[in-house]
Structure 1
Amino acid sequence: MLKHLLIAVLLTLVAACGSTPDWDYDTSVKFANYKTFAWSEHADIKNHGSDYQINDLMEKRIRKAIVENLAAQGFKFVEAKNADILVNYHASVDQKLESDTMQTTYSARWNYWGWGYQTQTTTREYDVGTLVVDIVDAKSNQLIWRGAKEGRLRKKQTPEQRTEAINKTIAEILKNFPPKALY
């Protein structure tokens, strides 16, 4: 019983680690020099994904969440020709398999030598979405920062639940933009 509890706790910790945003950036860039932003001409999730959840409604939610998060950090939204940085984003949906194996019976056979047990394995297919936000220097057109978050897609959500999920995901992705000093 303790062994099963330990495995469940470890699986929970691994699953929690899998939902942590991933960041990468150019360490030579002076991010404090950037004050304004605009959309990259390639910013459109529909160009990159084919899942039913990737649509115009989700596009609006993502754009609104990015604008609100960057504005809260002091960045000003301007026309692309006047921007210091360009924001691009894209999404993908992949299918993954999850399986559980459980011991269903365990017994000793007295009429012959040996021990017996049976296992049962169940497998489920689920969708995992990845949302990537790229920050590009507008003058050099070079990628300077990237943040991404992967998570299991939930179906049958209300529009409010979808909006809340996007707001949370974008906030987590942009939590490290501009990058914080390393300690």
Structure 2
Amino acid sequence: MLRTLTLSLTLLVLAACQSGPKTDYDPNTNFAAMKHFALQTPEQTNDPLSSERIAMAVTQTLMAKGMSQSDTPDFKVTWVFQTGSKPTSSGLSIGLGTGSWGHSGGVSVGTSVGLPLGGEKQYQQIQIDILTASGDRLLWRGSDSFEFSDGGEDKAEATQKTVAKILAAFPPTPK
């Protein structure tokens, strides 16, 4: 019984800590009819490598879903991204533990506050917008972020995975 309670509490805490892509969409849109897309490249950016990686990842992910790029699209895809840094400390930790001594047992819960003791981690937040074919109205939006330490292949792979996670929720399934 005690182990079941501890396991349940641990899973609940872990589930609460997980974050995934955030999405929003217009429920009146017929997403099932959307098969052809065009990229609407954002205006000038100070990080063209990241923008190109996002464009490639969007194209690959949508094509893997059976959609095709077209000059006469059903919808347009655009994106914005922000790169920044944050302290390496996570700030707050929650710990759960169990123990037994002889015939006695117990459960403990503790918290800890971390202080940033050094460097910063780089992160990139990506927002992908699905627009009407004319590009004048937002139909769907998804966003997520990832941390990275270096650019190059690691950042390119993290970008691909993040875009795939975001677009996993597109098209949305009605509830």
Using structure 1 for the length normalisation, give the TM-score. 0.66
Q: What SS class does the counterpart of residue 116 from structure 2 fall into?
A: strand
1:59, distance to aligned residue in structure 2 (A):
2.2
**Aligned counterpart, 2:42:** 43
Structure 2, unmatched stretches of 5+, are 1-9, 94-111
Q: Residue 179 of structure 1 aligns to a residue in which SS?
A: coil
In the TM superposition, 1:109-148 aligns within 5 A as 122-124=115-117, 125-139=120-134, 141-148=136-143
Q: Rg: which structure is higher?
A: 1
Q: Is 1:70 aligned to 2:62, yes or no?
A: yes
Structure 1 residue 10 displacement after superposition: 8.0
Task: From the two aligned structures, give the one with the greater helix fraction.
Answer: 1
Question: Runs of at least 4 residues of structure 1 off by over 4 A?
Answer: 8-15, 99-102
Q: TM-score, normalised by structure 2?
A: 0.69
User: Structure 1 residue 156: deviation in Å?
Assistant: 2.6
Match of 1:32 in 2: 32
* CA RMSD after TM alignment: 3.0
What's the CA shift for 1:100? 5.4
Alignment of 1:48-127 (within 5 A): 55-79=47-71, 82-97=72-87, 98=89, 122-124=115-117, 125-127=120-122
What is the distance in 1 between the residues matched to 2:137 and 2:91? 44
Letter in 2 for 1:27: P
Counterpart amino acid of 1:150?
S
